[in-house]
Each structure stands twice: as C-alpha cells, then as structure tokens.
Structure 1
C-alpha cells in the first residue's frame, strides 16, 4: 500500500531534498506541499527556486502549494515530513499532531523533549516506542518524531558501533568541518567563507553534546535515560558545498585498538528499510579518506564514511563523514518515516 505524504516547508533547501528523495520512493507518494502564506495558492514551480542537482519532477512542479495549516492538508495524507525553521516548527508541528498527523521532522525544536523520540533508525530504533508515552501524555492521535542535527548524525553511528561491540564509552571529543549547505542557501555569504574558515556555528556544539547522549541512551518502555558518556564538541564552517567531515577522539573503559574499532564499524548492521544503506559505515584503510568531494555520496548519500583510525595520546582517533543534506537532513527524515511505517505507526 502506498502511503500519501506531505512536505511542510517544501520550497526550502531541505524541502527540495525531501521531494527529490520522495518522488521515486517505493512506499511514499507526495500528495501535499506547504510553504509560507506568500507561496500558498501558487504552482510549486513558480515559488520554489529549485537548486537540487536533479530536475524538478514534472508532476511536483505543477502541484499547488498549500498554507502550512492542518486544514490545508488533504484527508488521505497519513505522514508529514517537516523541514520548517525551528521557530516555525515549534508553533505549527503540535497542531498537526493534535489533528492526527504523524510528523517526521528535521527541525531542531523539541529534539530534547522527554517524550519526543530522537531517532537514527540503525542506532536506536527502539526509542520510537516513546511515541506511546507521547500520545498518552499529550492526548495526540498523531505523533512527532525527530531526526538529529546533521553533524550529530555524522559521528553517532560510529560511537554506536563501538558500543554495540562491547566498548564502554567514557569521553568523546569531536571537531567538525561543516559544509556551507548546512547553513542553507543564504546562510553564509561568499565573502565570509571563500578563503576562510569560521570557528563557530551558533548552538551547534550544544546539539552535538546533548543529542548524542540521548541517541545512545536506553528506553525501558516508560522513560528514556541518557547515556553517561561525556561529549565535547567544537564546530567549524569550511568552504565545501556538501559533506560534514569530523575528527573524533574516543576514550573507552576497555582497551580499544584501531583494529577493534575498524571491525566494529564495518560490521555494524544496516536495516531492511529502503533508505538504509548496506554497509551503513564504510571504513577506509587509506588515512587520507574520507573526503567530502570523494565520499559524501556513498550509499546514495545515506552512508557514513570513516577512516584515519589510529591510536592517539587521548584514546582512539578517527575521522568520519556524511552528506549533511541527505543523510544529515532530508534522508534522515525519510528513513524515520520508513521506520514509522515498518512499526505500524501510520
């Protein structure tokens, strides 16, 4: 059965990626697009400055854009993908859930709420059952699930692989080298970023430090307990277009060798979902890999790449990479939608 879906915030960069991924999807069919009031009532092709690297789908181009309200969504839509700015998402996502819609959201609002599952399906699919608590507490017929920040998604699967192999993580330091697309098309001017690097991205460090502990935490059926690992992050914007590269240092309670880490990451399982790549983590022996230009599109942009694994004066050091607008944003929301369908929440 094909599930009818909608995209909230369809004209933005992540909204366009969602359309690119959803249009050929085997289980989802786009039935509604929403955007700002100024775009509502117009054909999508007239209000979306299409910047994705494939042509705009012909049928989508002719669709009429709706206002971002529950009343504007057709009755046969079961699942909404939200790419709204967090300030907007915080206001409009709850009314959609109250109206009975299930929302798979990339927006940062409510990610750390106690009753909102923050999910990377290959890492913590069991956290999705927090939706039962959410529905009981909020009285919603719908539901709200979040995917993490694009930089969090890049390194947490590698940590989860180490934990799954039996290593107790005590301390993690991560330094990010983040692509300009993570700030949106108008987020960083060329005069700021060309021949430059910006050693601060507002609120990004806190997201990595808190979201990672929630993702690695345990859910007992009633309450989610965050993992005890200490995470410290430093975030930098660099002049690459797509692909967040991250340098990670890990201290474990047990002895953790480069060979142990490489095996754990390479063997960490994918899921039997349409958007889950196999393998999930590509491990390079070449210490100069991964690189954004060469490796961001592994697994159709949904895979994590890791390499440069070595011993350091602070535990184990390695590098990892993910495509920030596919795996780190739109693709992550689509994958959560697939998990929702698989687990009977639609």
Structure 2
C-alpha cells in the first residue's frame, strides 16, 4: 500500500515538478494539494499554469486545491512553498505531527533541523527523533539547488581534506521560478547577481559535511567563496570550482573517487537514487548543460574538465539539474531514504 503525501505550494514551479516526479511512484501517492488562497477551492487543472513538458497527471488534475490552513490527512508533506510563507507554515504543520520535507530555505540552518543530501549525510536524519519528541512532528530540509550540485561534486574527494573552495555558478532561469526574469533582462545577457544566493552556497556545505555529535551538528571547516550568475539556459546549473587540499592529491586519486562514488540510497535501492550519483567525464568540454542535465532522470550530478589549478590545487566543472536533483527530486529521495530506514 502506498503512502499518502501532500504537496505544499503545489501550483508553483517546484510544486509542479513534485507532481511530475511522483506520478506512478512505487512508494508515494499524492493525496492532497495545498496552495495559496488564490488557488484554494479550484481543481488543480484550473489553479495551476502548468509549465512542464509532460501533461498534468490524470489522478491530480481534478483534485481540489486546499488552503494553507487546511487540516491534512497525509503524514508526509513535500514543501515547495515560497520562503515568504514557508517558515511559519512548515512549523505549524510540524506541530500538528506531520513530517515536512522542505525545499524552502527557512529552516535549513535551524540547529535541530537536518540539511540532507542523502548520499552524503544520512546520519543527520537522526535529528528527526528529537524533533518529534519536542514538536510532535519534524522538518527535514533539502539544500539550495546550487549547493546540492556543489557538495555532490565535492563529496567523492572530501576525505582527501578540502581546505578552501572558490566557486562560480552559471544558473538557469528556472531557478527563479515562474514567471521568473523578464526576457529583456536575460536574453543576450548574463546577470552577475542572484539575491541571497552566495551566502547559502558558502554556509550550507559546512552543515552538510558537518559531524553529528549527540543532538548537535559540528560544522565542517571547509571555507568557500562563491560568485553567482544567472544565464539564459532553461534548466541546469553549471558550477566551476577550484580546490585547495590539506595535502597533495593526484589526478588518479581524484578520478578514482569520482568514478567509484556511491551512497546509502544506492545501496538500499531507493527509487530515485541514480547509479552512479556522480558521472565523471574525461572530455574537456563536458559536462554541458543541454547534454548532461537529464542524466539519471535528472538526479545524477556530472563532473568533468578536471585539471590542475595555478593558484589552488585542482579545478573542475560540476553540473546539476536544479529543479530535479536540486529541488523536488532531491527532496523525494530524502523521503525514500527515510522510509527505507524506518523513520517514517
């Protein structure tokens, strides 16, 4: 029997991706859709301006959208809420006993809320038990879309001792949601600013790579400096990274770790766990946004163009599908892992 789930922010860009990815899912079925008062009371087909290439699933299009203050039957709530309302709404659902797995930024850095990339820090999910004892429910968060690509690109070589990272992102327009940027601003242009993005990329990896000690996460000491850019691609964030290691690392060591990297979701056979989670390319012109963003159903992070850095030690490129692995897909994978681990 499948587990009933609800989608918070169901009409938005991330909410639509949740609905698309959950169609015919072997573990979860969409039971409830929640959105703003503008959409509440309408069938989903009327409430949402559907923007994905696949049609609205038949079992969803006639569901009536509920308001944010509705009482929900689903135990698991996938949140794609806008940050303006997510903080208060997610905390309220937690206090009602729900498990909220959120793509929103509001609770990511709360000390008792795990910030999870399933392949990297599944042990941080132990914080859920403490939350349930205090609040009755729990919140688990998915990192920023660029952070997810970055940390999965770093994870295979992290044990070699990364001291510092210089990061420059080239982020697709879907990361801004719909309607997003005016075409006049983004066509024939690159915008070297995305509000609030650089601090997330600099701070979140410290928590993700941190060590769980009792009920506290001790942050990792890796220092990151980030620069972000919005580019005229629809989906896919490309990241250029330069790394300084604590001790010398050879090309062979790095390549071996990239090509053999795996994690607990792969070992447990989670439905959306890609094999491999990190795809290494020897070609100097890969990964490319259009060619590689959909690898592993959009869940595989690609790494390539590895070469020595004249200032640090090594540099390479990372690609992540920002609305799949970087948003809805990554959040669903967290829930799948929690089911496998008996935390749901």
Structure-2-length-normalised TM-score: 0.97
Shift of 1:258: 2.5
Instruction: Give the Cα separation in 1 of the matches to 2:339 and 2:36.
Output: 28
Deviation per residue, 1:138-182 (Å, 9 max, x gap): x2221100000000001101211112xx30110011100000000
Instruction: Give the Cα separation in 1 of the matches to 2:321 and 2:250.
Output: 27
Q: Secondary structure at the match of 1:69?
A: coil
Q: Which residue number corresponds to residue 148 of structure 2?
A: 153
Shift of 1:130: 1.3
Is residue 79 from structure 1 mapped to residue 76 from structure 2 by the alignment?
yes
Is residue 176 from structure 1 mapped to residue 169 from structure 2 by the alignment?
yes
- Pairs aligned (count): 339
User: Pick from 101, 105, 108: which aligns with 2:102?
Assistant: 105
Shift of 1:16: 0.3
Q: Which residue number corresponds to residue 341 of structure 2?
A: 343
Q: Secondary structure at the match of 1:66?
A: coil
User: Pick from 305, 320, 323: which aligns with 2:321?
Assistant: 323
Q: Which residue number corresponds to residue 135 of structure 2?
A: 140
| Root-mean-square deviation (Å) | 1.0
Q: Secondary structure at the match of 2:154?
A: helix
Structure-1-length-normalised TM-score: 0.96
Deviation per residue, 1:51-92 (Å, 9 max, x gap): 111111112001111011252x2x3x1100000011210110
Preserved contact between residue 70 and residue 96 of structure 1 (Cα < 8 Å): no
Instruction: Give the Cα separation in 2 of the matches to 1:70 and 1:249.
Output: 47
Deviation per residue, 1:30-65 (Å, 9 max, x gap): 000011112111100011011111111112001111
Deviation per residue, 1:205-248 (Å, 9 max, x gap): 00000001110111023211000011110000000000000000
Q: Which residue number corresponds to residue 3 of structure 1?
A: 3
User: Pick from 268, 277, 281: which aligns with 2:278?
Assistant: 281
Instruction: Give the Cα separation in 2 of the matches to 1:343 and 1:220.
Output: 20
TM superposition outliers: structure 1 runs of 4+ over 4 Å: none
Q: Secondary structure at the match of 1:320?
A: strand
Shift of 1:343: 2.1
Q: Secondary structure at the match of 1:279?
A: coil
Is residue 312 from structure 1 mapped to residue 309 from structure 2 by the alignment?
yes
Preserved contact between residue 259 and residue 280 of structure 2 (Cα < 8 Å): yes
Structure 1 unaligned regions, length at least 5? none
